[in-house]
Chains A and B, each alone.
Chain A
């Protein structure tokens, strides 16, 4: 029982941590990319909508 409970807590913990970590990593990569392109917030939205339109 103890092993079962610990396994489930460990599973939930790892899953939650992975999700948060993945989100933060992606957020940082996007920020870095947008910064390197020197895009301001307004430009970012226009760029994204243009890309979507062209698709």
Chain B
């Protein structure tokens, strides 16, 4: 019988939490004022969009840490974190962009605004994650390829603080911060609770994915070494 590891446990708990968030967002969270939004029903996607963006920032931080550990220390753990971070960044980035486009189409009448700094820096971050995941799969594993991808992971992180402060400096199309943004940012307690459950659930889910992805990288390396050893005449 298969053992259930920490990664699987985190994934299961996170997935359950995400489903609970979705149920609460659609059935329990209070509606927003019809005067403040063109499409009040679409606003409920916010309970998915914000936690997935939060999880994406965690994943980008893991990617940055792993890339730095590989570049400066040649740490095998660093490379595992780089791989796990890039995959998790891509998944969360796509969820954030997709949910944002759906809301934008309903609220603004257009899914994307090329003049909005927040949208475009986050889009670039997601494209960076896509490049890292696809690039790694198409290149043979080696020191040079790891150095190249880690360099992108390291310097690409500069977009994270820019994305974070973008709506605080330039309010073009994307709404301002709803938490920690001063007097203008406020949520009712019920809305805040659903958002908190969502943030915790997505954090657990992404932690599970990072643990599992690091485990898979370790297995792949172990398997490759064993096979090479057999081929070399064990």
Contact = CB atoms under 8 A, between A and B. Distances in A.
Interface in B23-37: 26
Interface in B210-229: 212-213, 215-216, 219-220, 222-223, 225-229
Contacts of A9: 19, 22
Contact of A12 (B15, B212, B228): B15
A4 B225 contact: no
A27 B219 contact: yes
Contact of A30 (B2, B94, B98, B226): B226
A49 B116 CA distance: 52
A20 B8 contact: yes
Contacts of B48: 5, 8
Contact of B2 (A11, A12, A24): A24
A8 B18 CA distance: 11
A26 B216 contact: yes
A30 B222 contact: yes
Nearest to B19: A9
Contacts of A34: 226
Interface residues of B, number: 39
Nearest to A16: B11
Given A19-B216, A33-B223, A47-B229, A4 B95 contact: no
B216 A22 contact: yes
Nearest to B18: A12
Given A30-B226, A37-B234, A4 B22 contact: no
B91 interface: yes
Interface in B61-96: 91, 94-95
B216 A23 contact: yes
A35 to B, nearest CB: 11
Contacts of B205: 12, 16
B99 A26 contact: no
Contacts of A12: 15, 18, 91, 95, 205
B52 to A, nearest CB: 8
